[in-house]
Amino acid sequence: MKPLSGDFKRASRRLGFVLIMSVILLGQGVSRASGNTSMMPVTCKVMPTLEASFPESLDFGDVAPTRDPDGSYVISDTQVVKIWSNTEWALTMRSDSADGRMTKWTGDGYSSETLTFPLEWQLNGEGEFMRIEGDDISVVQGQSPTDKYGTALRLLFRQLITYNDVPLLDPATFYRIEVTFTAIQVY
């Protein structure tokens, strides 16, 4: 190995000295700067939040029975319930009629006249139609938190009309039922 020259050694010493001084001066500068600053903690807390959109009403219109029971069903178009939630959630549904049958509405209140069969519902076009009840029934439960697009639940309602159902001739009266949807987060 070639021995190092005296100039090179001197230059190395100078460079080392300059580096050490730079570190010391920078360190002092940093400590002086931090002495003049203060930390501002910025915090927030995201609250559990639920947003829901429900169909406002549904009108089956003028309906008529037929001899064929399958042909006597009046089926709604798809009704969409949409939920946005940042924790697990569930949706229940109930009617104001204990047995789920539409009842004659006189404008002031219900009378005793009811349709023969209850209103039925189906979720997302899957499974059997189920009758609606006066107690809360689970539409979905244990649903994961949604993204910003939410989760859409597609409901169909159907009503069987038979020749046993009494026609209502007074234009001010009709068969009516009230459906209550409840969206809630889970424990």
Partner 1 sequence: MSEKHRFPVLAMIIVLISLPALSRSAHALPNAMSHRNISMRVSPTYIVAEVCDGDFIGPIKVSNTGSLPLDLQGFISEGGHDKNGIPIFSDPSGNTLKCGVFLTLEPTEFRLMPGESRWIKVRAHVSDTFSGGAYPIIVFQGQPAKEMHSRELLTSAQVGVLTLITVTSRRKQDSIYASPNIEYVALSQDPVDKSLIVSAICENQGNIHTTLSGTAVIRSYLGQPASSAKLTPAVCLPGHKRVITARFKPFTLNKGIYIAEVLVNSEGNTHPSIPVAFQVAENGMISAIHMDLAHP
- Given the rule CB under 8 A, which residues bind partner 1? 47-61, 63, 71, 73-77, 79, 84-85, 87-88, 90, 102, 105, 107, 119, 136, 138, 141-142, 157, 174-187
Q: What is the DSSP letter of 11?
A: H
Please give the Cα distance from 185 to 88 (Å, whole number).
6
Q: Would you state the structure tokens that stand for residue 141, as one six-digit string?
A: 């439960």
User: Shortest gap between Cβ of 28 and partner 1 (angstroms)?
Assistant: 50
Q: Under a CB-based contact definition with an 8 Å cutoff, are residues 100 and 186 in contact?
A: no
User: Shortest gap between Cβ of 83 and partner 1 (angstroms)?
Assistant: 10
Q: What is the DSSP letter of 171?
A: T
> Which of 29/48 has CB closer to partner 1?
48
Q: What is the C-alpha end-to-end distance of the chain, expressed in Å?
A: 77
User: Shortest gap between Cβ of 124 and partner 1 (angstroms)?
Assistant: 16
Q: What is the DSSP letter of 12?
A: H
> Which of 7/70 has CB closer to partner 1?
70
> Which of 34/78 has CB closer to partner 1?
78
User: Shortest gap between Cβ of 164 and partner 1 (angstroms)?
Assistant: 18
> Which of 34/180 has CB closer to partner 1?
180
Give buried/exposed letters for 96-129 (b at 16+ CB in 10 A, else e). Answer: ebeebbbbbbeeeebeebbbebbbbbbbeeeeeb
> Which of 12/182 has CB closer to partner 1?
182
User: Shortest gap between Cβ of 180 and partner 1 (angstroms)?
Assistant: 4
